[in-house]
Amino acid sequence: MNSIPVVELHSSTETNIKTTHTTCPYCGVGCGVSATVEETAFGQKLSVAGDIDHPSNYGKLCIKGSNLADTVGLETRVLHPMLGGKTGRQESDWDTATDLIADKFQHYIQQYGPESIAFYVSGQLLTEDYYVVNKFVKGYLGTANIDTNSRLCMSSAVAAHKRAFGEDLVPASYEDFEHTNMVVLVGSNTAWCHPVLYQRIMQAKERRQQQQDDLFVVVIDPRFTATCEAADLHLPIQIGQDVALFNGLLQYLYQHNYTDTEFVNAHTQGLNEALQSAETESSLENVARKTAISQEKLQLFFEKFAHTEKVMTLFSMGVNQSSRGVDKANSIINCHLLTGKIGKLGAAPFSMTGQPNAMGGREVGGLPICWPHIWI
């Protein structure tokens, strides 16, 4: 299970128990895990539990994380470098394997230049590991040919954040979902793909109901998924029409005087250009025709967004992995900027990664177009 980063190790010599605090590798929530190994008369006994002190999950684990112990057996695991093709593969030692790789690097760089070398890196490495690989590729080999899981997972969000904020930063955290009054889930079957975060949202909804308060949940998805079952409103959008929907919301908010003028004047630019690009979605009728969503449902969604002070809009792979992913993300962000629903507790657009450290790879420059952030 070497794809799971180890953070710290606690041990007890009296009871022969060792507990490793680590991170679940299965999704972008990044749940903390406590993996305990106990030496018994019958051999090692391994158990896995949620880390109660971890801010992502506070002890919760979904069924995938709960079964991590089943993945650490050594029976089918490759423990040594293997050289050769599929038919002639043989076990080797690390020195031999490292020398072979170095010789190959040197050969191709001398013959074709550093641009002949490329790296693709997992979305499950520690941020520090990303940094070392990035420094090796760009600083030592002299090529920008390094890409990570962040490309497949989040490159459209990267571009959208840079276009909107000037930096690739998500302006919210998980805690915001527990303080908001409205959650909009776009292109995400959160119940299956990010189950612990979904549980936190549902628990926040239950607490609000007990307090005679409201947490209104909207799911925007062409399909009726498991996430839709607990939603207050499901918008079965026509595939590929997310920009039309949120441009329509932008126009509605502006036309009905829901603009946070003070925030817009102090912190934004380009409002007129954004409204002009959304001009074809200036009526409910046009938006309904493009999105295949009824005008009644659109009206309800637009009004709820407009009248709710704290709104969190989570978008994920259904938005990002698209030929118009950047525009989709910016159309969502624009609605938050227009109304000032950003930079406040419980109010922000929220890009949800697919892998546990896709964000870490981006922060330390793990893309061809990026350098590490200034604070690294």
* pLDDT tens per residue across span 338-358: 999 999 999 999 999 888 888
Supply the Cα-derived Rg of the chain in whole angstroms: 24
In a domain, 126, yes or no: yes
* 126 and 179 both lie in a single domain: no
Higher-pLDDT residue of 256, 151 = 256
Domain count, the chain: 3
Determine how β-strand 311-315 pairs with β-strand 348-351.
parallel
**Three-class secondary structure assignment of 265-321:** HHHCCCHHHHHHHCHHHCCHHHHHHHHCCCHHHHHHHHHHHHHCCCEEEEECHHHHC
Give a yes or no: residue 75 inside a domain.
Answer: no
pLDDT at residue 223 tops 60: yes
130 and 174, same structural domain? no
pLDDT for residue 152 is more than 50 = yes
pLDDT for the residue 178: 93
- Verify that 192 and 293 share a domain, yes or no: yes
pLDDT of residue 339: 98
Q: Do 245 and 359 sit in the same domain of this protein?
A: no
Cα gap 148→153, rounded to integer Å: 9
| CATH number of the domain where residue 61 is located | 3.30.200.210
Same domain, 115 and 194: no
Least confident of 82-91, 104-113, 313-322: 82-91
Q: In the chain, what percentage of residues exceed pLDDT 90?
A: 69
Task: Give domain status of residue 253, yes or no.
Answer: yes
Identify whether the C-beta of residue 165 lies closer than 8 Å to the C-beta of residue 298: no
User: Token digits for 280?
Assistant: 């074809």
Q: Cα(141)–Cα(117) distance, rounded to whole angstroms? A: 8
Q: Is residue 13 part of a domain?
A: no
Structure tokens at 293: 């969503």
Q: Give exposure, 236-273, as e/b (b: 16+ Cβ within 10 Å).
A: bbeeebbbbbbbbbbbbbbeeebbbeebbeeebeebee
Residues 348 and 359 in one domain: no
- CA distances from residue 335 to 33, 237, 245, 328 in whole angstroms, order as listed: 36, 18, 11, 11
Q: Looking at per-residue confidence, does 280 or 247 come out higher?
A: 247
Q: What is the structure's pLDDT at 284?
A: 95
Band (73; pLDDT cuts 50, 70, 90):
confident
Does residue 60 lie in a domain region? yes
Q: What is the pLDDT of residue 63?
A: 92
Answer yes or no: is pLDDT of 106 > 50.
Answer: yes
**Residue 335 reports pLDDT greater than 80:** yes
148 or 275, greater pLDDT: 275
- Residue 202 resides in a domain: yes
Residues 65 and 138 placed together within one structural domain of the fold: no
Q: What is the pLDDT of residues 19-37, one digit of tens each?
A: 999 989 888 898 999 999 9
CATH label of the domain that carries residue 202: 3.40.228.10
> What's the pLDDT at 7?
44
Q: Look at strands 119-121 and 146-148 and give their pairing.
A: parallel
Q: Indicate if 194 and 138 belong to the same structural domain.
A: no
Residue 109 clears pLDDT 80, i.e. is over it:
yes
Same domain flag for 113 and 169: no
Which pLDDT does position 65 carry in this prediction?
92
Question: What pLDDT, in 10s, does the model give residues 289-322?
Answer: 999 999 999 999 999 999 999 999 999 999 988 8
Q: What pLDDT, on a 0 to 100 scale, did the predictor assign at position 1?
A: 39
Q: Is 248 found in the same domain as 365?
A: no
Higher pLDDT, 208 or 251: 251
Higher pLDDT, 179 or 7: 179
What are residue 40's DSSP bridge partners? 43
Give the pLDDT band (50/70/90) at residue 72: confident
243 pLDDT above the threshold of 80: yes
Q: Please write the tens of the pLDDT for every residue from 37-48.
A: 988 888 788 899
Confidence class of residue 199 from pLDDT cuts 50, 70 and 90?
Answer: very high
Q: What is the mean pLDDT of the chain?
A: 90
> What is the average pLDDT across 273-285?
93
Shared domain for 212 and 182, answered yes or no, is yes
Question: For residue 360, what are the domain limits?
Answer: 93-149+355-375
Residue 85 covered by a domain: no
Task: State pTM to two decimals.
Answer: 0.86
The 8 Å CB, 24+ separation contacts for 277-283 are 277/247, 278/247, 278/248, 278/250, 278/251, 278/331, 279/251, 280/247, 281/244, 281/247, 281/248, 281/250, 281/251, 282/248, 282/251, 282/255, 283/251
What pLDDT shows up at residue 200? 95
Same domain, 183 and 284: yes
Query: For residue 181, is it within any domain?
Result: yes
